[in-house]
Amino acid sequence: MSERRSVAAAVRAVLDAADPTEKVMAARAAARDWRLGRLDFRFDVAMPDRPARPDTPELLPPNRMPKRGRGGSERGRIALIHALAHIEFVAIDLAFDLIGRFGGEFPAAFTDEWMRVGADEAMHFALLDRRLRSLGSHYGALPAHDGLWDAATETAYDAKARLAIVPMVLEARGLDVTPATIERFEAAGDMVTARILTRIVNDEVRHVRAGTAWFESACEAARCVPETTWQDLVRTHFRGAVKPPFNDSARESAGLTRAYYQALAAG
């Protein structure tokens, strides 16, 4: 009898897919096969240092990215949607890398949850790429920010650090900034994009909640205090600032209370 495919092999296939359409298909296949019980709960394949990337977009260091307008003109809106599509594209890899690297340290419910998150990110990317196409552009048409993988590299060997930085700092920052972005698209009369971003931000509350809940369960297992442990990990592994304005209500509904971030925001 042939051995069934492992979870690790299925998530590695997502990370190894360079072409955006193939990455989305691999993400959906991994999530579906796991949900249907077709994958063995085995972590027998290592994750790559960096996921595969398509030839375009050209990846530029942050300081070489062209300045974006305020999103009023169509060109400005396309540039903003492109930047958001890139964030979602990298988010696909972040979700599956989290499973592949750390899934074996947690109960299977962890894999359940992050497979759903990975499928969400693939959907978010597909919605934004489709929106770009309906505006006459596409993902890859503009340069994109290199460096979104830095947080993954920095936390490649520590599950608590990964959860502390990726969902609880970076995705939580998305909760803070997205409402203003939605208002910008509404003000420009682009209700289609505003609706897509509203759907995305609702999903992202769940992602932050998942990150916080699994971080707290890892802290409980290690008998450490979640809030101060998180603050130490952020100081060690995150070079940016955790600063206001915060979307306190969205953070609160994700379980990320002020007890976590207040102390860091105060400096």
| Interacting residues with Fe ion (CB under 5 A) | 88, 91, 121, 124, 171, 204, 207
Residue closer to Fe ion by CB (options 44, 112) is 112
Judge whether 132 and 200 are in contact, CB under 8 Å: no
Residue closer to Fe ion by CB (options 88, 190) is 88
Residue closer to Fe ion by CB (options 159, 168) is 168
Residue closer to Fe ion by CB (options 202, 249) is 202
Q: How far is the CB of 46 from Fe ion (least distance, A)?
A: 24
How is residue 113 written in tokens?
């949850």
Cα 131 from Cα 138, distance rounded (Å): 8
Residue closer to Fe ion by CB (options 120, 190) is 120
48 to 122, 167, 244: CA distances (angstroms): 19, 20, 35
Judge whether 206 and 174 are in contact, CB under 8 Å: no
Which residue is listed with tokens 């460096």? 147
CB-based contacts of 56, cutoff 8 Å, min separation 6: 140, 141
Q: How far is the CB of 118 from Fe ion (least distance, A)?
A: 9
Q: How far is the CB of 95 from Fe ion (least distance, A)?
A: 7
Q: How far apart are the first and last CA of the chain?
A: 59
Tell me which residue of 199, 206, 260 sits closest to 232, measured CA to CA: 260
Q: Three-state SS for 87?
A: helix
Q: How far is the CB of 267 from Fe ion (least distance, A)?
A: 28
Residue closer to Fe ion by CB (options 213, 263) is 213
Which residue is listed with tokens 């092999």? 9
Q: How far is the CB of 171 from Fe ion (least distance, A)?
A: 5
Q: How far is the CB of 24 from Fe ion (least distance, A)?
A: 13
